[in-house]
Structure 1
């Protein structure tokens, strides 16, 4: 199995370790750069590749590096929380496909802030390994599993759970990937999709807006992420107040 690995975050480190443990060393490595590159050095150390086969940031999109990747005769490129738009010239490099691990149960919650929208929209949630396509998160599905959204889940707790499920999904799909004949199922339903900016429209709470307790709780759950920048807020007397929520399950 000839592959290039594109990723960041601890989940990418864990999955690269899994591949290495199975005897699969990458032929090339694509990593993030700058302040958002949380695990670049660890991935580079694990991959053990010469510098010319490590591409930082968007360097993988220039014509010279595209030719380098083509020359590797890759079966796959694995994208694990790799935060770049992939141009069509790169999507078509691997013989079988450029695969992406997405924290959502496709076709629901394509795009950004997937746990938040699963709570807000009440859509199925989970993790999906799929072929990448020019259209965002619309490629054929290889394998996916659902994750139950509990009444006390916030976007943050749900994201922590789905990270673990993503690893499980990749591990279960690995034998198919190794066979070089992975399952492909088209996304027949429309599902849902959201951009990065969509969540901002939900953040401001209008104090006089009529709502139900359930809808308000769900909104606060969805806006309780790992950062106060995405929190719900209200304005009063010229000041802005941010709100996050903690829900504890107890016996009746």
Structure 2
């Protein structure tokens, strides 16, 4: 199994280690760059590749580097939280496909802020390993698992759970991947999808709006993330007041 690895975040480091420990070292590495990258240096250390086969940021889209990747005769490019739009020319490089590990139970919650929308919309949630396509998160599914959304889950707690589930999904699919003939299941239902700016549209709390207790709790849960800039808020005396929620289980 010949592959290039494209990733960021701790989950990508864990999965790259898993692959190497089983005797599958990447032929090339694609990592993030800029203010949003978090684990590029760690991934480079784990891969132990020469700089000639490490592509930072958008460098993998450069014509010369595309040709370099083509000459590696890759079976897969494995994407784990790799935050870049992949052009069709790169999607076509691996003979079997460009894979993506997505924190959602596809076809539900394609796109951004998946735990937030799972709470708001009450859609099934989980983790999915799938083939990438030009359309966002619409490629064939290799393997997926669902996770229960608890009533006291916030978007942040749910995200921590799904990160662990993503690793499980990948590990369970590994034998299928190394067979070079992985399962491919079409996404039949339309599901749901959100772009990044959709979350901003629901952040403001209208203090005059009539909501059920559940509707308000769900909104606060969905907007309690690890990012202060995603908090729900209300306006008072010309100021924005952020609101987040925490739960504590009480003795019966």
1:219 counterpart residue number: 219
Shift of 1:248: 1.8
Scaled by the length of structure 1, the TM-score of the pair is: 0.99
Moved over 6 A (4+): none
C-alpha distance in structure 1 between counterparts of 2:251 and 2:113, whole Å: 31
RMSD after superposition: 0.6
C-alpha distance in structure 1 between counterparts of 2:60 and 2:240, whole Å: 43
C-alpha distance in structure 2 between counterparts of 1:192 and 1:83, whole Å: 20
Shift of 1:62: 1.0
Secondary structure of the residue aligned to 1:35 is coil
Contact 1:152 1:249 in 2 (8 A): no
Q: Structure 2: which 5+ runs fail to align?
A: none
Shift of 1:52: 1.0
1:117 counterpart residue number: 117
Moved more, 31-40 or 215-224: 31-40
C-alpha distance in structure 1 between counterparts of 2:123 and 2:250, whole Å: 26
Number of residue-to-residue matches in the alignment: 252
Secondary structure of the residue aligned to 1:17 is helix
Q: Structure 1: which 5+ runs fail to align?
A: none
- CA deviations on 1:189-227 (whole Å, 9 max, x unpaired) are 000000000000110000001111110000000000001
- 1:38 and 2:38 equivalent? yes
Secondary structure of the residue aligned to 2:68 is helix
Scaled by the length of structure 2, the TM-score of the pair is: 0.99
2:16 counterpart residue number: 16
- CA deviations on 1:61-114 (whole Å, 9 max, x unpaired) are 111000000000000000000000000000010000000000000000000000
C-alpha distance in structure 2 between counterparts of 1:34 and 1:202, whole Å: 28
C-alpha distance in structure 1 between counterparts of 2:7 and 2:175, whole Å: 21
C-alpha distance in structure 1 between counterparts of 2:33 and 2:118, whole Å: 30
1:48 counterpart residue number: 48
